Amino acid sequence: MLYQTIDILGTIAFAISGVLVAMEKRLDLFGVLIIAFVTAIGGGTLRDLLIGNTPVVWMRDLTYVLTIFIAVVFAIIFVKQLKYLRKSLFLFDTIGIGLYTMIGVEKGLEAELLPIMCIFLGTMTACFGGVIRDMLCNEIPIIFRRKEIYATTCIVGGASYFLFVELPIKEGYAYIAAIVVVITLRLLAVKYDIRLPSVYEKEGE
């Protein structure tokens, strides 16, 4: 129940972030729907294909498709209110990567993969929907921009889960704590302008 709830919440968060990006680019209704859809299920689709979980989950369960449609309608109707929220795109994107990181880790565990592979799947699940979204909207994906720590927070959050489960706490609490780690790290990174080291001698070269 916890797993499915988190999966749906992640789907909603990423679908709304897709709508906000698409509407900033002034795409038509079909374009908005497509961007929302690929943002919400892009990473999970790639993950399922890699581990052989086919047909992929959204093709077997219409709940995800319906959730995306509802999220799109909600975001379009309340887009003005969402724009008034400070950095609403950043907020929904951050929530999305936190939730989806652990969804990917859980899928890796179900496939009996090594912890490092589970972390890789979690990072892919969280990041690649946004990569596809940004590429379709003619933007450099956030994951490749030095100005924001993105994938690193997913890696650290996924790794923290395996540390938490070694503690004398329930697995469900460890799961939620890892999600909080991802979200908190990204919020702190943006607030305090924490970045990965540059490979260039001078900024801008």
Distance CA 113, CA 52 (A): 13
Residue 108 counted as domain residue: yes
Distance CA 24, CA 119 (A): 32
7 pLDDT tier (thresholds 50, 70, 90):
confident
The residue-averaged pLDDT of 31-48 equals: 95
Residue 196 counted as domain residue: no
pTM of the model: 0.86
Residue 123 counted as domain residue: yes
Is the model more confident about 145 or about 162?
162
> What's the domain range around 91?
2-191
Number of structural domains (the chain) is 1
Residue 203 counted as domain residue: no
**Is the pLDDT assigned to residue 179 strictly greater than 50?**
yes
Residue 88 counted as domain residue: yes
Residue 38 counted as domain residue: yes
Residue 58 counted as domain residue: yes
Indicate the Cα dihedral angle 71, 73, 79, 82, nearest 10°: -20
**Is the pLDDT assigned to residue 95 strictly greater than 50?**
yes
> Phi and psi at residue 137, in whole multiples of 5°?
-95, 15
87 pLDDT tier (thresholds 50, 70, 90):
low
The three-state (H, E, C) secondary structure of the chain, written as one string: CHHHHHHHHHHHHHHHHHHHHHHHCCCCHHHHHHHHHHHHHHHHHHHHHHCCCCCCHHHHCHHHHHHHHHHHHHHHHCHHHHHHCCCHHHHHHHHHHHHHHHHHHHHHHHCCCCHHHHHHHHHHHHHHHHHHHHHHCCCCCHHHCCCCCCHHHHHHHHHHHHHHCCCCCCHHHHHHHHHHHHHHHHHHHHHCCCCCCCCCCCCCC
What is the chain's mean pLDDT, rounded?
88
Residue 180 counted as domain residue: yes
> Phi and psi at residue 100, in whole multiples of 5°?
-75, -25
